[in-house]
Structure 1
Amino acid sequence: MTLLGYHCSHENVPPDALLAAVQAAERVGFDAAMCSDHWAPWGADQGESGFAWTWLGAALATTRFTLGVVNAPGQRYHPAIIAQAVATLGVMFPGRFWAALGSGEAINEHITGAAWPDKSTRDARLLEAVEVIRDLLDGDVVTRDGLVDVHEARLWTRPEVPPRLVGAAVTAETAARAAGWADGLITVVGSDDEMRRVIGAYRDAGGEGPCHVQIHLSWAPTDGEAVAIALEQWRHGPAVKPPETWDIADPAEFDRRSADVGPEEIRGSLFVEHDPARLADRIASVVGAGFDGAYLHHVGRDQAPFLAMAGTELLPRLREALA
């Protein structure tokens, strides 16, 4: 069965409201959830950024969902600390937690004061971090001297079965690299050709496990409202693309670069819809590019109207289309 998941954005929803939202997402019929792990929002109008790992414990304890998080070990987080966090959630909620690991973005990682490395160095650091996390989850005592330094680290609390470590990839090149270590893949929506290249690169390089896609969308009862939500909360999307996205450290810079984004640009950057049937068709088309499921991210600050619509209209239509 195709997984239909709900994405929880810490960047623009306070953690208490986000906890209520993920609980509501379970009630209306979503299958699972995932969340972001940001230090800062993308722009001032988003205005939030709760600590993902605290929230994950509460969300797992108050739903039956499988939950994942997108994380960048190596700078803001030492990988041994991430291994401990992954292990603890794995013990408390067996089989229900996974972590997607990526090379990170300066907007979150610059706060340590360390220099922001170039992409090739970040990719090498990620591989070292993944090796540290896996070795610790396997029960090894880890000492390492490299892009990541570790001294005689051991996890004293470990789950019987380690949680899945998933590759977070935007490009085919990153997906191919992740195939060597990942238990699955998570990417973001793009053109059909781009998404098929990402999946193909992962599979061709030997990647195993499910491939999922995160879909940004703005829904409201009218087209004008949906456009207004998208422009207020997600206007950086069409204005700043990778690799620039990865290297900007200040939300104000995202705001500056996206100041002139208008309705047509925003429609090209995410799904802006007021018609649930058309939104279901668009989502089903993306999943049809070869994904095992999708995590839907409504970019508005108020999640309740979207969740209500999803339960009565969107999810039933999607399940019928994807059956």
Structure 2
Amino acid sequence: MDPLLMARPGTVGVVFRPQQPPEDLAGVVRDVDAAGVPELWLWEDCFLEGGLTTAAAALASSTRVRVGVGLLPVPLRNPALVAMEVATLGRMFPGRFTATLGHGVGDWMTQVGAGVTSPMTLLREHADAVRALLDGEHVTATRRYVRLDDVALDWPPPQRPTLLVGARGPRTIALAGEVADGVLLDSVTDPETVRRARGIADDARAAAGRGGPALVTAYTELDPAADHLSERVAERVASLHEAGADTVVLQGTGERPDPRPLVTALSDAGLLP
């Protein structure tokens, strides 16, 4: 089934920020599950928690919650390895995992010896290869960064997990529409940012001959200690959904990363089942 057929307009989620220690994850997942929050999202930032290991633990801690990673920096991983890991999670937890690919922070990539001179080229090549491998194709590529010789997964997922590209600038947003199922936007507060990204991604998708609209997921930060939090949550979620976000994902601040106050605010605002 095409992942776009699984689009869920009006979905909400929360982020388990990696400023929380990994041993807190299982308890957060249990609370998110009990409250009825549809989605839990994770970061992978240097040098905190690994995105795919954390995702596996989160998925195993619930039978219902959908889990997304935003994002996996492509300079850090060979695309064959990414496809193997994503396929494994897709088969073990069908319909519950979303992977997001992205540039990563340039300074960190240089710090670990993985910097490249053309991040856009790498991201395009990497996303093309990962998508094709997850679709069960045999992939041979001799490109600038990605070189694969008749590579195919022995255990491709029957249904490809949703694959997004994390983006901020218009060129990367367009790339997300072209090569992935949609885009993950970070640190969004202005509805116009979502509206503009929606237009760019949909236009790029149409130009590439891919059917249907792009999926748009937006991270948005709110201070869990703010006054009238449920009102702020309701207003932010409504404005970003109205602007074109399929999923609005709330995250706390670096100083207050625990998402559980935001879960309570979502419930108090009447935004959970």
Q: Does the pair score TM above 0.5?
A: yes
Distance 1:294 1:26, change over 3 A: same
* Contact 1:73 1:82 (8 Å CA) reproduced: no
Q: Normalised by the size of structure 2, how large is the TM-score? A: 0.84
Alignment of structure 1 residues 58-207 onto 2, 5 Å: 58-63=57-62, 64-72=64-72, 74-117=74-117, 121-146=118-143, 147-188=145-186, 189-206=188-205
Within 1, Cα distance between the matches of 2:74 and 2:243? 32
Q: Could you tell me which residue of structure 2 aligns to residue 219 of structure 1?
A: 224
Corresponding position: 1:315 with 2:251: no
Q: Tell me the CA shift for residue 130 of structure 1.
A: 1.1
Within 2, Cα distance between the matches of 1:300 and 1:53? 21
Q: Could you tell me which residue of structure 2 aligns to residue 17 of structure 1?
A: 24
Q: Tell me the CA shift for residue 308 of structure 1.
A: 4.6
* Contact 2:224 2:262 (8 Å CA) reproduced: no
Q: Tell me the CA shift for residue 23 of structure 1.
A: 2.2
SS of alignment partner, residue 24 of structure 2: helix
* Contact 2:218 2:248 (8 Å CA) reproduced: yes
Q: Normalised by the size of structure 1, how large is the TM-score? A: 0.72
Runs of 5+ in structure 2 lacking a partner? 1-8, 207-212
Alignment of structure 1 residues 281-296 onto 2, 5 Å: 281-296=235-250
**Once the two structures are superposed, what CA deviation does each residue of 1:295-318 show, in whole Å capped at 9, x if it has no partner?**
1111256656x515633x433415
Coordinate RMSD, CA, aligned: 2.4
Instruction: Count residues with an aligned counterpart.
Output: 255
Please tell me the residue identity of whatever aligns with 1:131: D
SS of alignment partner, residue 58 of structure 2: helix
Corresponding position: 1:53 with 2:13: no
Greater C-alpha Rg = 1
Q: Could you tell me which residue of structure 1 aligns to residue 253 of structure 2?
A: 299
**Once the two structures are superposed, what CA deviation does each residue of 1:148-191 show, in whole Å capped at 9, x if it has no partner?**
22234221112111111112221233212221122122213043
SS of alignment partner, residue 212 of structure 1: strand
Distance 1:274 1:61, change over 3 A: same
* Contact 1:39 1:107 (8 Å CA) reproduced: no
Q: Could you tell me which residue of structure 2 aligns to residue 275 of structure 1?
A: 228
Please tell me the residue identity of whatever aligns with 1:217: L
Following TM superposition, the consecutive aligned residue runs of length 4 or more in structure 1 with deviations greater than 4 angstroms are: 300-304
Give me the identity figure in percent: 29
* Contact 2:252 2:262 (8 Å CA) reproduced: no
